[in-house]
Amino acid sequence: TQGFSAEQTANFIFSLKRPLFGVVERAWQDEPKAYAGELWAVSELLDSLGMHTVNTFQHSREQVIARQQEELLELSTPVVKLWEGVLALPMIGTLDSARTQVVMESLLQRIAETGAGIAIIDITGVPTVDTLVAQHLLKTATAIRLMGADCIISGIRPQIAQTIVHLGVDLQGITTKGNMADALALALRRSGQSIVRA
């Protein structure tokens, strides 16, 4: 079972006020000043306990949400083995710093695990490329080269090419292709492999 909700737990804690107030009243009924002080102390204790319950519940929910966001981030950037020695990272959606960091880490990890010599980053599904996204792509490509692999960026549409030129981003030294098929064909040629029709 999942246990009680925060509301159920808080309601239970606050329901203790009446019986505890009765105990305090019986114990301190002959001393009104002490009775008021004890009543206040019990009330503060139960209020604090109720707030602690709600805060704990909220904190655990926030941790679950953060963990789910991390998992979604990892799932949204799968590194796929296309061919022996060739990995691809098809990217879909908006790129930001957090996502780009996960992308770079997962791609570099897979290159290290598989010993792949070529990595294709496909940005066909990325709606826009701004200066920040272009810089992230450059950093990722540089990191891939530092690992001893080649990097090909595919999915460079005409409007993205114009944006990159307009922004003054230098992609010199990075191979780019218009689509994933061209990038895969180049990767196979570079690795000395070919696909033959039967």
User: For residue 176, what are the contacts with CB-CB under 8 A and spacing of at least 6?
Assistant: 152, 153, 154, 156
Question: pLDDT tens, 13-32?
Answer: 889 889 988 898 898 889 98
Bridge partners of 88?
80, 120
Per-residue confidence at 1, pLDDT binned at 50, 70, 90? very low
What's 80-190's CATH class? alpha beta
pLDDT at 118: 96
111-153 pLDDT, tens digit each: 999 999 999 999 998 888 777 778 888 888 989 999 999 999 9
CA dist 120 → 26, 38, 141 (Å) = 78, 70, 10
Region 159-165 average pLDDT: 82
Q: Which residue has the higher pLDDT, 150 or 76?
A: 150
Domain ranges in the chain?
6-71, 80-190
Helix 32-75 crosses helix 6-15 at what angle (to 10 degrees)?
Answer: 170
Q: Against a cut of 0.85, is the pTM above it?
A: no
Reply yes or no on whether the pLDDT at 53 is more than 50.
yes
Asked whether residue 76 carries a pLDDT value surpassing 80, the answer given is no
Q: For the residues of 124-183, what is the DSSP string, one character each?
A: EE-----HHHHHHHHHHHHHHHHTT-EEEEE---HHHHHHHHHHT---TT-EEESSHHHH
- 2 has a pLDDT exceeding 70: no
Model pLDDT, residue 40: 92
Question: Over pLDDT 90: what percentage of the chain?
Answer: 29
Banded pLDDT at 74 (limits 50, 70, 90): low
Calpha distance 119→187 (Å, rounded)? 8
Top pLDDT among 27 and 70 is at 27
